[in-house]
Amino acid sequence: MSIVSMLLYSAIIAQENTKLKIIEKPILYNKEREKLSVTYLKERHGIIQENATIVPKIIVLHYTAGGSIKSNFNYFNGVEIENARKLNKDQSKLNVSAHYLIDRDGTIYHLVPDTLLARHTIGLNYCSIGIENIGSKEAPLTNQQVLANSNLIRYLSKKHQIEYVIGHSEYMKFRKSNLWKETNPNYITYKADPGDQFLIDVRKLIIDLNFKYQP
């Protein structure tokens, strides 16, 4: 374990006895978004149900590839996906989003209820919670975000039956598993987020929870 990881580990142990601070900042989840989400479940995952509820088993960690809390919130707040994302829009008009958004100082914002669908990971949206982090390849995620993600994962593991914690870059490992549900085998995008070192550091802090990282 690196010196940074040791410091982070000490910090998380110190914080375990304090209440995790999560700021509620819900994006628009109106009737239109719910309708598109129900359609997404049917057309993309082959799941037919009357509402957009999910049962989380997986946590997927992402980075936003730039922007700020304000700009990313405003982007996710749109109900329909932008025309520029043609491959994604051809599969569904539902906009991308995430359940949580974490700033570079570690502040956690809750955007979508954990048990409602958010579109963030192909093939796994029906069973996963998405955590977005402000950052990019050029602006690697911070130590504060490592700590915030590990604390949030611990919190979520107490609320839900979470089995896996993965990076967005790892989602295609699930394509041949029973968890994968995507009706179009050609609907694939290649991702590098949230960064290999970030995943290593987060996993060091949650190693005691014994999550799986691949099917």
Superfamily covering domain 3-17+26-209:
Peptidoglycan recognition protein-like (3.40.80.10)
6 or 100, higher pLDDT: 100
Residue range 112-132: average pLDDT?
Answer: 98
Determine whether 54 is exposed, middle or buried from the number of CB atoms within 10 Å of its CB (0-12, 13-18, 19+). buried
CA 191 to chain centre: 13
Report d(CA 215, CA 208) in Å as an integer: 19
Q: Is the pLDDT of residue 64 over 70?
A: yes
Alpha carbon of 64 to those of 90, 94, 122, 169, 187: distances in Å? 22, 18, 16, 13, 20
Question: Can you give the pLDDT at residue 119?
Answer: 98
Write the secondary structure of 107-163 as one string of H (helix), E (strand) and C (coil): CEEECCCCCECCECCCCCHHHEEEEEECCCCCCCCCHHHHHHHHHHHHHHHHHCCCC
Q: Is the pLDDT of residue 150 over 60?
A: yes
Determine whether 201 is exposed, middle or buried from the number of CB atoms within 10 Å of its CB (0-12, 13-18, 19+). buried
Question: Can you give the pLDDT at residue 5?
Answer: 52
Report d(CA 80, CA 66) in Å as an integer: 20
3 or 209, higher pLDDT: 209
- Give the pLDDT band (50/70/90) at residue 148: very high
Contacts of 152 (CB under 8 A, 6+ apart): 20, 22, 100, 102, 108, 131
Residues 79-100: pLDDT tens digits?
A: 999 998 999 999 999 999 999 9
- Residue tagged 């989602």 (tokens): 171
Sign of the dihedral defined by the CA atoms of residues 130, 134, 138, 141, in that order: negative
Residue range 111-125: average pLDDT?
Answer: 98
Q: Where are the domains of the chain?
A: 3-17+26-209
Residues 9-53: pLDDT tens digits?
A: 555 554 554 579 999 999 999 999 999 999 999 999 999 999 999
Q: Is the pLDDT of residue 57 over 90?
A: yes
Question: Can you give the pLDDT at residue 1?
Answer: 44
Mean pLDDT, the chain, integer:
93
Residues 188-212: pLDDT tens digits?
A: 999 999 999 999 999 999 999 999 9
Question: Can you give the pLDDT at residue 19?
Answer: 73
